[in-house]
Amino acid sequence: MRRFFRASPLPIFLVAVLIAVVLVGLHSLGSVGHAAAPVKLPPGATAIMPSRPGQVPSFTEADVRAYLALFPHEKTTTGAPATISSIRFISREQASAAMNGESLSEVAPGALVCYVVIAGPFDVGPSLQLPPTTRKIGPVIVQSQHFVFDATTGNLIIEGY
């Protein structure tokens, strides 16, 4: 008596899928090392929405005032709201100099930024990041706070005292 081996459709299907996966994998080996160039995101965190897209600066002094009104920052030690001392569109280098040499290296040399100063006084003691072994210090009072926005994107690059 002769016996015939009869394969079920499931193992045949699984073998076909395995062959297809191997062939697709071999095909993609030719593109290994040809990864797409990484996308360079603009520096900073999203902040001011440009009201003048395609122009530099892409936003106005009024846009800065509206942003600061929507997202109030530090309270003054007197409890009064902070006041805006100045809003200037200046070069990266000028902003760095105004902040006593603070680095803005993520912004291209010569690029226009928006430099904003708000008046306090502010107690920045609670926001200082000190090592856990450091004993608590008293109030640290500063008279002003500054912000630098990218004049092209409106992104917040840096804020400090």
Residue 87 lies in a domain: yes
pLDDT computed for residue 41 by the predictor: 82
Domain annotation covers residue 69: yes
Q: Rounded mean pLDDT of 39-47?
A: 87
CA atoms of 113 and 95, how far apart (whole Å)? 8
pLDDT of amino acid 67: 94
How far apart (Å, rounded) are the C-alpha atoms in residues 125 and 112?
32
Question: Nearest-5° angle of CA 114, CA 103, CA 127?
Answer: 85
Q: Do the domain assignments include residue 35?
A: no
Residue 52 in domain? no
pLDDT category, 112, cuts 50, 70, 90? Answer: very high
The structural domain count of the chain equals: 1
Nearest Cα to 144, choosing from 124, 108, 118, 126? 118
Q: pLDDT class for 140, splitting at 50, 70, 90?
A: confident
Q: Has residue 100 been placed in a domain?
A: yes
Any domain includes 112: yes
The CA-to-CA distance between both ends of the chain, in Å, stands at 95
Q: Among 30-44, 110-124, 128-142, 147-161, which is the least confidently predicted range?
A: 30-44
Is residue 23 situated within a structural domain?
A: no
Q: Is residue 34 part of a domain?
A: no
Express each pLDDT in 122-131 by its tens digit. 888 777 777 7
Q: How many residues does the chain have?
A: 161
pLDDT average, residue stretch 84-92: 97
pLDDT greater than 60 at residue 118: yes
The pTM of the whole model exceeds 0.75? no
Domain carrying residue 101: 61-160
